[in-house]
Amino acid sequence: MSFLTPIALLGGLLAIPIVLLYMLRLRRREVVISSTFLWQQIVRDNEANTPWQRLRRNLLLLLQLIILALLVLALARPFITVPAVSTGKIELLLDASASMQATDMTDGSSRFEEAKRQALNIVDTLGQNDTMTIIRVADVPEVIAASTRDTVLLRTAINNATASDAEADWVGALTLASADAINVSDFNMIVISDGGLGDASGLPGVPGKVEYIPIGQSNDNLAITALATRALPGQPPQLFAQVTNYGSQDTPIIFDLRVDGELYTAERYVVPAGTSLPVVSASLPDSFSVLQAGLTTPSDSQVPDYLAEDNAAWTISSGNNTRRALLMSESNLFLEQVLRSLQSVEAFKGDITRPLPTTPYDLYILDGWLPEDGLLPDGDLLIINPPESTSLFTVGGELEPGSSFSVKTNDPRTTFVDFADVNILKFKEITGVDWADALVTTDTGALLLAGEQDGRQIAILAFDIHDSDLPLQITWPILMSNLLEWFTPSSIISAQNGLQVGNSVPIRPPFDATGVRVTLPDGSTSNLPIDRDTVVFADTHETGIYTIDILRGNEVIQTAPFAVNLFATNESNIAPQPTISLSGNTITAATRDEVGQQEFWPWVALLALAVLVIEWFVYQQRMQARTLFQPIFRRPAQGVAR
């Protein structure tokens, strides 16, 4: 046994004043008592006239000297030499990826808990001149303890670390660790992982000596590795899913589907070992928002499923962002062409010689035509060249436009719209539209009006486009795109499905939005300020459904959900790897061939605390014994004791 701070042993000299305090004679005060028979010890003490007395055996003195000795020993930091994995400047890479949540350890704990125990063992063997940096390797590598030899700080960082639901970025982690190797001669790297390094195995060079501590014992795991839906025109939505068995045994499973939170179906399958089972279903309901798939193992199954994080997957209905539009027109190739070019609108053409179809549509485009009964359809309306008045507006006589046009350019419906070169032969006077904004006007009246009435979005173009050269101008597709985007707002995110844990999500809020609120799967919310055209949300660290709310003040003006899944083969394939490959070299499991130092001063300090408790107990017992004799001092005075 050796000491890191041997000078602390000088603290043992404090034993001298402790012993002297016990030898120092104390003067007694005179007290009148009835008899000296019970006070023979006091009589013997009075026989000595010197201020010092002979040291007698005293349990309290012995306990106090033991406490002092233990405290001095703890301050001297005793240690013994033990085998260690590595020494010098150590970079410890702690795998915190999703596969490390597998519960295949002997005691039923997770791989990550075992990895933390291994990391703590390495901290316990650090030498006096060793330093350690700990990097938590998840979707974003994170330094949780910078280069230090403070074992308390290192142990706290390890104990507070948590595993993630993401795939580990080993390339970034190894690059981050290698940056500390500059001008360091004794640089060493320790990787604690179950072995799935992915693309990191192809890195050109990793400095220093690399040690690998493998974690994990089994490969038994089932995972949902794909989930999608598709809806063809006129057909119900179809489900495409895939369940993969990464284990070495055929495994029965129950595959269940939940539609908008309600259990829809549950089927039992057997997935052969090492293969994938496709699940296809054409029996989904016609309309839904969120579909969740789940895996469970039957109670009679003898095959474990050690990783639960890949047993659930989510998808958003692919039809949520497409609106159905019905065009009622005698013949308008310009309208038909522009509608076909817009992906957010699924357009259908109706027959004006018949009544409106009973099938509901999201948007009705009425070009020079209105229903004979005068009843407008229940949906959003784009009315072009209305032939007569309705309950929403009044059609007057025909007017000739003036020499100039005015466009409300600060409105999103007319952004980049320019009527300067447009020629219009005539238009109709539209009145009784207090609910609408005049977006394009001329000296004699309004050419384009738009607004909301009775919960519907309505736009009116007051002229026949064949009576103008508008369809030949570049402003025509711009105008129609703006209007149809107003009727059918474009998605505020580019992808609602196909996102993995850790992916960033670009959000495109409307120009009049004041804030973005994201609700995470656990119910917590994150508020994002809008300071540019695109807002990036990067906190996708768990699987599930996220919801984006676009705010205008306190009002939610647009909502869009998106799904985040694991879908990572490197994480679902939990088979532990006995070796890893880095820079073309195969690295086997680490051995303790270095010499480290294991301190045990905390145990010595704990023992000192235990002795202190015993000393306090003995002292309290003696004080209680003295209290029992206190009534003697209150008897009538019959003698004097000194």
pLDDT in tens, 264-286: 999 999 999 999 999 987 678 87
Per-residue pLDDT averaged across 161-175, rounded?
Answer: 91
| Judgement on whether residues 51 and 110 belong to the same structural domain of the protein | no
pLDDT at 642 over 50: no
Nearest to 138 by CA among 105, 109, 115: 115
Q: Which residues contact 41 (CB under 8 A, 6 or more apart)?
A: none
Same domain, 120 and 138: yes
* 213 pLDDT above the threshold of 50: yes
β-partners of residue 564 are 499, 544
Do 297 and 381 reside in the same domain of the chain?
no
Of 286, 316, 346, the last residue of a domain is 316
Q: Are 427 and 441 in contact (CB under 8 A)?
A: no
Does residue 596 belong to any structural domain of this protein?
no
Q: Look at residues 363, 353, 446, 367 and name the one whose alpha carbon lies nearest to residue 399.
A: 446
- Mean pLDDT across 544-549: 94
Confidence at residue 13, expressed as pLDDT on a 0 to 100 scale: 79
Q: Average of pLDDT values for 122-131? A: 84
pLDDT exceeds cutoff 50 at 453: yes
Residues 134 and 202 in one domain: yes
CATH of residue 426: 3.40.50.880
- Among 460, 487, 514, the domain boundary falls at 487
Residue of 395, 393, 351, 353 lying closest to 376 (CA atoms): 393
- Radius of gyration in angstroms for the set of CA atoms belonging to the chain, rounded to a whole number: 41
Confidence band, pLDDT 50/70/90 cuts, at residue 517: very high
492 domain-assigned: no
Specify the range with the lowest mean pLDDT, choosing from 182-196, 311-325, 549-563: 311-325
**Same-domain pairing of 260 and 159:** no
- Residue 586's pLDDT is 83
Q: Which pLDDT score, from 0 to 100, does residue 469 have? A: 92
Collapsing DSSP states into helix, strand and coil, what is residue 631?
helix
| Residues in contact with 385: Cβ distance below 8 Å, sequence separation at least 6, in sequence order | 367, 368, 428, 461, 462, 463, 464, 465
Average of pLDDT values for 110-115? 95
Percent of the chain whose pLDDT exceeds 70: 84
Which single residue is written with the structure tokens 């291994």?
118
Assigned domain for 332 exists:
yes
Q: List all residues 6 or more positions away from 614 whose beta carbon is below 8 Å from its beta carbon.
A: 63
- The confidence score (pLDDT) of residue 49 equals 47
The HSE-up count of residue 102 (CA atoms within 13 Å, CB side) is 27
pLDDT of res. 235 = 67
Cα–Cα distance measured from residue 555 to residue 604, given in angstroms and rounded to the nearest whole number: 63
Query: Do residue 385 and residue 415 come from a single domain?
Result: yes
pLDDT at 343: 64
Query: How confident is residue 636, by pLDDT bands cut at 50, 70 and 90?
Result: very low
Q: How far apart are CA 167 and CA 185, in angstroms?
A: 32
Q: What is the pLDDT of residue 631?
A: 53
In this structure, is residue 493 part of a structural domain? Answer: no
Predicted confidence at residue 51, as pLDDT, reads 57
- Identify the residue with better confidence: 484 or 628: 484
Q: How far apart are the first and last CA of the chain?
A: 52
Integer Cα distance of 635 and 612 in angstroms: 38
Q: Span 553-572, mean pLDDT?
A: 89
| 3-state SS class at 104 | coil
Q: Check whether 345 has a pLDDT greater than 50.
A: yes
- The answer on 240 and 140 residing in a single domain is no
Residue at 371: amino acid letter: P
Contact 294, 264 (CB under 8 A): no
pLDDT higher than threshold 90 for residue 161: yes
- Residue carrying structure tokens 């013949």: 331
How many Å separate Cα 369 from the centre of its chain? 54
Residue from 329, 338, 369 nearest 476 by CA: 338
Note whether residue 494 is domain-resident.
no
Average pLDDT, the chain: 83
Please name every residue paired with 226 in a beta bridge, in sequence order, or none if there are none.
242
Residue 251 in this model has a pLDDT that exceeds 90? yes
CB 381 within 8 A of CB 459: yes
Are 400 and 482 part of one and the same domain? yes
Task: For helices 59-75 and 601-627, give the axis angle rounded to 10 degrees.
Answer: 160
- Structure-token match 């908008």, residue found: 260
In a 13 Å sphere around the CA of 286, the CA atoms on its Cβ side amount to: 3
Mapped onto helix, strand or coil, the DSSP state of residue 65 is helix
Same domain, 332 and 465: yes
Averaging pLDDT over each range in 93-107, 228-242, 533-547, 555-569, which range is the top one?
93-107
**Widest distance between CA atoms in the chain:** 137
Q: Give tens-digit pLDDT for 390-435.
A: 989 999 999 999 888 999 877 878 888 889 889 999 999 999 999 9
What is the span of the domain harbouring residue 299? Answer: 222-316
Structure tokens at 507: 């959000």
- pLDDT of 519 reads 95
474 Cβ contact list (under 8 Å, min separation 6): none
**Residue 229 binned pLDDT confidence (cut-offs 50, 70, 90):** confident
Q: Which of 111-120, 201-210, 438-447, 556-565 has the lowest mean pLDDT?
A: 201-210
Q: How far is CA 265 from the centre of its chain?
A: 29
**DSSP per position, 421-450:** T--BS-EEEEE--TTEEEEEEETTEEEEEE
* C-alpha–C-alpha distance, residues 239 and 242, integer Å: 10
Region of poorest pLDDT, from 230-234, 256-260, 339-343, 476-480: 230-234
Q: Which of 72-76, 409-413, 466-470, 532-536 has the highest mean pLDDT?
A: 466-470
Strand partners, 315: 291
Residue 519, domain CATH: 2.60.40.10
Q: What's residue 637's pLDDT? A: 43
CA 122 to chain centre: 29
Per-residue model confidence (pLDDT) at position 598: 65
The span from the CA of 372 to the CA of 374, in Å, is: 5
pLDDT exceeds 90 at position 635: no
Q: Kindly provide the residue ranges of all beta strands, DSSP E only, lying in 462-531, ordered along the sequence.
A: 499-500, 505-507, 515-519, 525-528
436 in the same domain as 361: yes
The CATH code of the domain that includes 99 is: 3.40.50.410
Q: What is the mean pLDDT of residues 358-370?
A: 88
CA dist., res. 193 & res. 539, Å (int)? 24
The mean-pLDDT minimum among 182-186, 210-214, 365-369 falls in 182-186
Question: Residue 25: pLDDT above 60?
Answer: no
Q: How many domains does the chain have?
A: 5
48 has a pLDDT exceeding 60: no
Same domain (yes/no): 415, 461 = yes
What was the pLDDT predicted at 639? 44
How many residues does this entry show for the chain? 642
Query: Which of 487, 515, 545 finishes a domain?
Result: 487
Residue 249: other Cβ atoms inside 10 A:
15
Do 93 and 240 lie in one domain? The reply is no
Whether residue 124 is contained in a domain is answered as yes
Mean pLDDT throughout 558-574?
A: 91
- 265/267 Cα distance (integer angstroms): 7
DSSP 537-557: E----S-EEEEEEEEETTEEE
- What is the average pLDDT across 106-131? 89
